[in-house]
Amino acid sequence: MTERVAIANDHAGVALKQALVQAVRAMGYEVLNLGTDDAASVDYPEYGSKLARMVASGTVPWGIAICGSGIGISMAANRVAGARCALVHTPEQATLARQHNDANIIALGARMLSEQQAIGCVHTFLTTQFEGGRHTARVQQLG
């Protein structure tokens, strides 16, 4: 069975989502689109929460959250118990989010990153493993 990745976005993230859907599929993942495909203004908390609930429940192991800055949708996702959403701007941050924090959702700002930068972050996020060890107790404290 192909591993699934869910992507949620607001109106600001439509174009970036489209590029990421192609990139994630090219990496061999099935993509579940939970976001809007329209430029009409929508509320990012709705989409961030929906994504986080799917990841926290185990329906999908990974999530990608996109809004204009990445901040609002990451805040919405992190309100859901079991969701560990990291806002990243570089592949190095994506690496640390996975290695040290066992992040299961990556948040990206569509107005902050180029498509190539975002693809680099997502690729790193999806291919980096949690290190466990000394980080495990800290992640457990997150809830």
Catalytic, out of 11, 85, 100, 123 = 100
pLDDT at 70: 98
Three-point CA angle 40, 5, 132, nearest 5°: 130
pTM: 0.96
Catalytic, out of 67, 89, 121, 123 = 67
Q: Do the beta carbons of residue 94 and residue 124 sit within 8 Å?
A: yes
What number of other Cβ atoms are within 10 A of residue 105's Cβ? Answer: 29
pLDDT at 48: 98
pLDDT at 142: 86
pLDDT at 143: 77
Q: Please state, in angstroms and rounded to a whole number, the distance separating the CA atoms of residues 126 and 143.
A: 22
| Nearest Cα residue to 88 out of 58, 109, 62 | 109
- Which residues span the domain enclosing 43? 4-141
pLDDT at 94: 98
Domain count of the fold of the chain: 1
pLDDT at 2: 81
- CATH number for the domain harbouring residue 57: 3.40.1400.10
pLDDT at 69: 98
pLDDT averages per 10-residue partition of the chain, 143 residues: 92 98 98 96 97 97 98 98 98 98 98 98 97 90 84
Q: Do the beta carbons of residue 87 and residue 71 sit within 8 Å?
A: yes
Is 67 known to be catalytic? yes
The per-residue DSSP string of 15-54 comes to HHHHHHHHHHHHTT-EEEE-S--S-S---HHHHHHHHHHH
pLDDT at 1: 64
User: Where do the DSSP E strands lie in the chain?
Assistant: 4-9, 30-33, 62-67, 85-87, 105-109
